[in-house]
Amino acid sequence: MKISLGTKNSTVDVARSEAVAEKLRGLGHEVTIIRIPAAGDAETIGALRLGLMRGDFDLVVHRMHRIPQQPMPGLTFAAILRRNDPRDALVTMGGVTLVNLPEGSVIATRSTLRRAQLLALNPGLQFVERTAGQLIQFLDKVRSGEIAGVVAGAADFEAVGRLDDVTEYLPTLPAAGLGAIGLECRSEDEDLVQALSVLDHPDTRVCVMAERAAVGALNVADSVSVAARAHRAGVLSLMVSVLPNDGSKGLSVQMGMPTSELHAVRTAQKAAAYLRFKGAEEIGRPPRPEPEEDDEPKQRVTEIDRARVLVPREEGRMARGLREFGLDVTAVELQRREVLAVSSTLDGAQWLAFTSVRAVESIRDLGWTLPKGVKIAAVGAGTAEALRALGYEIDLVPENASGVRALLDIWPDGEGTVLVPGSALLAPSFISELQAKGWNAQLIPIYTMQVLSEAPAEILDQWNQGFFDVVVVTSGSNAIATGRLLGWNPDVLVFAVGDSARLVLERAGVTIAGYSDDYTPAAVHSLMKEVIEG
């Protein structure tokens, strides 16, 4: 079987993916590694999952403790490999144990959960943030006396060849899934799911899924962390702890656990229910007001002029354009644009292609000036307007439509270089179709989109109370952000704009009321009117 494996373009992630690829090649499969631009953990996970949902590649490799607890509809963990050592370990100078470190000792660690437990064991500690990929540098700081110690996963010390430096293994509980590697693919790819299942380690799967179920069933305050550890010591058992980040006393429960995944997950949910009953979700929160009851069913809107529309992205051309048709439109950001550190340049290109206003804004934020003499293409009128506002002439833009498909339809065959300064999440199909027209096309990632930690409280309340009748989703990452922060309400009509949004929504099992490959507000309004009014 031919399998494409997506991975973050970093030394550690590529090595981890190559190790999985070698296992699959040993089983007779042909595996190709596809690298995506390097970013932080959260951004990378989002980009990899978006790529899976869009069909950019078939498989990704995850560290399970980094994956959000909410399930991703349309995706499945076909295999979870045998777990590495999930314990935390401490490295200090001179073999000083944690409880014997003097007050004011500085410890480097990445995890808030670890800090909470370390403070409970030694309240006099201070901390510095250990950034990803810098474990060896911090170990050198311990050796030089700059800091007192480093706490990390035992598997991390082993990965960098420094397990012999460990002073002691700590009695702390890990984050759910720590030490386990998961292979994620699309649920609909049944042949691939079957092929990957031979790499699954049943005990590890049961333990990890139980840990994730327990943490996912708890809605704790930001000032609280949750630890979970399931393991076999003769029989399977699960311990879950809810711990205030200041190191004060929390709540814990331990239960015996069945060996089947289904029943283990149910046990984990019972453990979470017990902790909830004991007040775990109230730790660090003010008392909650009693919710008002509303038993009246929501009536579906039948006139477009009465529809209340949510556009889950920043105020822009789509929201303004729909308002021009008299619609009641609320625009809200559920993602944050982050400009990336870029080492590439735009020199040497015959064409520059801009696929969004965000790309133009990122060029501006980077302080870049476009090379003289280069031809400039814009995906639609809004992007063209943003470029003209910076003083650039536009050579190619769709006239009566907007979107990647509209731009590709008018793009000429030819030779030379096309650079696409844009999102790290851009679907690779745009690049490949330009290459099919004879061009040497390359994506230059200059920004990415990160899902916010939570939706604005007012919007979330309105969504949950059924205020909105329609939601307009304009990209795959937009669909993921909406599902994660708001959830999908069956009473709200979902309109997908563009292939990326449609593919992600379909694979997430969301019913799409209408689809448009034209990003112009006029086309979206026409579609909405047809669906709502018949």
Whether residue 293 lies inside any domain: the answer is no
Whether residue 342 lies inside any domain: the answer is no
Residue 210 has a pLDDT of: 93
Are 281 and 219 in contact, with CB atoms under 8 Å apart? yes
Question: Which three-class secondary structure state does DSSP give residue 76?
Answer: strand
**Do 429 and 462 have their domain in common?**
no
Residue 234 has a pLDDT of: 67
Assign residue 529 the CATH number of its domain: 3.40.50.10090
Whether residue 194 lies inside any domain: the answer is yes
User: Residue 229's beta-bridge partner residues?
Assistant: 239
**Do 324 and 461 have their domain in common?**
yes
Start-to-end Cα distance in the chain: 46
Distance CA(175)–CA(251), nearest Å, equals 15
Whether residue 339 lies inside any domain: the answer is no
Distance CA(394)–CA(386), nearest Å, equals 11
User: Residue 402: which domain range?
Assistant: 347-447
| Burial class of residue 90 in the structure, from the number of CB atoms within 10 Å of its CB (0-12 exposed, 13-18 middle, 19+ buried) | buried
**Do 393 and 433 have their domain in common?**
yes
**Do 79 and 181 have their domain in common?**
yes
**What backbone phi and psi angles, to 5 degrees, belong to 517?**
-95, 5
Residue 256 has a pLDDT of: 86
Distance CA(221)–CA(245), nearest Å, equals 10
Residue 472 has a pLDDT of: 97
Instruction: Show Cβ contacts of residue 365 under 8 Å, excluding neighbours closer than 6 positions.
Output: 339
Residue 290 has a pLDDT of: 58
**Do 379 and 505 have their domain in common?**
no
Element (H, E) at 313: none
Residue 283's Cβ-side half-sphere holds a number of Cα atoms within 13 Å equal to 26
**Do 79 and 94 have their domain in common?**
no
Tens-digit pLDDT string for the chain (534 aa):
999 999 988 777 888 899 999 999 999 999 999 998 877 667 788 889 999 999 999 999 998 988 887 778 899 999 999 998 888 999 999 889 999 999 999 999 988 999 999 998 999 999 987 765 578 889 999 999 999 999 988 888 887 788 999 999 999 999 999 889 999 999 999 999 999 999 999 999 999 999 999 999 998 888 899 999 998 766 788 999 999 988 888 899 998 888 888 888 999 999 999 999 888 888 888 765 655 555 555 667 788 989 999 999 988 889 999 999 999 999 999 998 989 888 778 999 999 999 999 999 999 999 999 999 999 999 998 999 999 999 999 999 998 888 889 999 999 999 999 999 999 888 888 999 999 999 999 999 999 888 898 899 889 989 988 899 999 999 998 999 999 899 998 899 999 999 889 999 999 999 999 999 998 999 999 999 999 998
Distance CA(57)–CA(498), nearest Å, equals 19
**Do 280 and 387 have their domain in common?**
no
| Burial class of residue 270 in the structure, from the number of CB atoms within 10 Å of its CB (0-12 exposed, 13-18 middle, 19+ buried) | middle
**Do 61 and 185 have their domain in common?**
yes
Assign residue 112 the CATH number of its domain: 3.40.190.10
**Do 78 and 183 have their domain in common?**
yes
Residue 179 has a pLDDT of: 87
Assign residue 243 the CATH number of its domain: 3.30.160.40
Whether residue 66 lies inside any domain: the answer is yes
**Do 161 and 185 have their domain in common?**
no
Whether residue 297 lies inside any domain: the answer is no
Whether residue 298 lies inside any domain: the answer is no
Whether residue 296 lies inside any domain: the answer is no
Three-state SS annotation for 212-237: HHHHHCCCCCCCEEEEEEEEEECEEE
**Do 106 and 222 have their domain in common?**
no
**Do 395 and 253 have their domain in common?**
no
Distance CA(48)–CA(40), nearest Å, equals 12
For the chain, the 3-state helix, strand and coil shares in percent, each to the nearest 5, are: 35, 25, 40
Type of residue found at 437: K
* Number of domains the chain is built from: 5
